[in-house]
Structure 1
């Protein structure tokens, strides 16, 4: 591969979206007792994150290969490397397979449970690309399940037993991922409004997606609040002050809804989100407060 081809391959693997895989590493942040006793577990969490970056990157390559003809008709996706011809389909497939091979070789060092979650994530995305993304609501549920598998993979990467995993945290992960996915579909329907470019959009309505967005967003805030107030959480961290991080979650939810409703913006709301200064600042402050409350 030439340097130009490698750069095009990396672009196809969506570097701006790699931030989603921080969900794998997030488990180390909330596993205070484990990382305090074994600080090197943070390195395992980082390795797990890198594995999921490679797998998710390979999935993006697969999606772009399958959707290349439709992408060429899209106002934004037509500029993607495969759709624009910056990289050939054959080179993209070869690069994606290499990324998968590296990911699973590296992931084997984190144990069988981690590899099982990584494999489940890959299989889920294969079915998503071929079946789930064509069925309304099943598509967004599949996306949310992918984030759930990231969290579980992170738990297993640092050696947590199933009984040590917070199911409130799993619920929060699923809900926030579902919220992001519903918001993305709502934005696509408002901006694109064409089933020709994404078949599933014809099965949705703005009204139903708005309702789902508000319900899931509210449920996310409630679930996170219950997590911070649960006796298990307070006992594990030795403090009740995690509840002070709830307002930042609420601000993040509201800000994302504002971004979703920008009908004049053709970028995906998840792309807008990671470039939006108020959202990013709020996220960083939330993270800082969480670290202070747990470790301060």
Structure 2
């Protein structure tokens, strides 16, 4: 009896030991599996988070380059457009080459403009933080690292100017002049009253020169004059909007020259450049190397100037000219009608 009882005890102990071994073995394997799953999930989460961060940084960097401002570079196509049937025609075999050269120049100036905007935001990083709207810009808000912006600006400017010289020596010199002028503007000239807006106007003239030089066509002096007055109008309207948005000490904190401007002064300057723009374009349409029928496009210029004045004074939209051109449907429709009418006149009557 004792032997039988002892045998049962041994069997039970052995069964218990085996069961415990299986239990701990299963527990260990499950823990190991859970650990692997946890590591894999953590690694996937880390990679996904890093990818999302990279995409977000690239998006912010692209916004800092201000692609909406690229619409200003469309003026590069003006020399080609206004030389229709004078230096080239749709039947000429080299017309596509001229269009390709103008398009390449447009793209190069877009990259240069983006590089300049990065430099400008780096210089104005503290003053932008005092602005109620500009403080949200990627560089001012800290979403784009300053080192990244410096490297990106250097690459954009260097490659663009180099490619300009590769296309044509004259074009490269024009682009280099634009870069030097805009860098001087970012560091110093923007702090000189009147001159700051004059430099902006000069930038538009340089774009027209670039568009003419790349296709080797002369441009009427009246087109340069129209460009200067039109750019001055946009620049003074932008300064007026900045004074309206900012108050008190924030005016001087954002831009030094705003202390020297006043809304009455800017209204007087705008009252000078608006009729000057209209007169210059009217003289160009009536006396330059264009058909006399071009005078039919003057009403579009009148409406465009008046519409922009309305938006500046009634809607306080002068601070972002690029958004006005893209979002205001009456003004955008007016520009399209002007372009269609001008193209039709040059095609049919020249």
Q: Work out whether the TM-score is over 0.5.
A: yes
Q: 2:228 aligns with which of 165, 174, 177?
A: 174
Structure 1 CA distance, aligned partners of 2:275 and 2:326? 21
Q: 2:156 aligns with which of 99, 102, 105?
A: 99
| 2:332 maps to 1:249 | no
Name the counterpart of 1:233.
Answer: 289
| 2:34 maps to 1:34 | no
Structure 2 CA distance, aligned partners of 1:257 and 1:172? 17
Relative to structure 2, which stretch is displaced further, 4-13 or 126-135? 4-13
Runs of 4+, deviation exceeding 4 Å: 263-267
The alpha carbon displacement at 1:270 in A equals: 4.3
The alpha carbon displacement at 1:286 in A equals: 0.7
> Does the aligned pair in 2 maintain the 1:147–1:177 contact within 8 Å?
yes
What are the Cα deviations for residues 171-203 of structure 1, in whole angstroms up to 9, with x where unaligned?
111111111101111111122242221111110
Gaps of 5+ in 1: none
Larger radius of gyration: 2
Q: 1:265 to 1:150 in 2, by over 3 A?
A: closer
The number of residue pairs the alignment matches comes to 288
1:1-296 residue pairs with structure 2 within 5 A? Answer: 2-32=54-84, 33-36=86-89, 37=92, 38-39=94-95, 40-160=97-217, 164-193=218-247, 194-230=251-287, 232-234=288-290, 239-262=291-314, 267-296=319-348
Query: Normalising by structure 2, what TM-score?
Result: 0.78
Name the counterpart of 2:19.
Answer: none
- Secondary structure, counterpart of 2:139 in structure 1: helix
Q: 1:206 to 1:270 in 2, by over 3 A?
A: farther
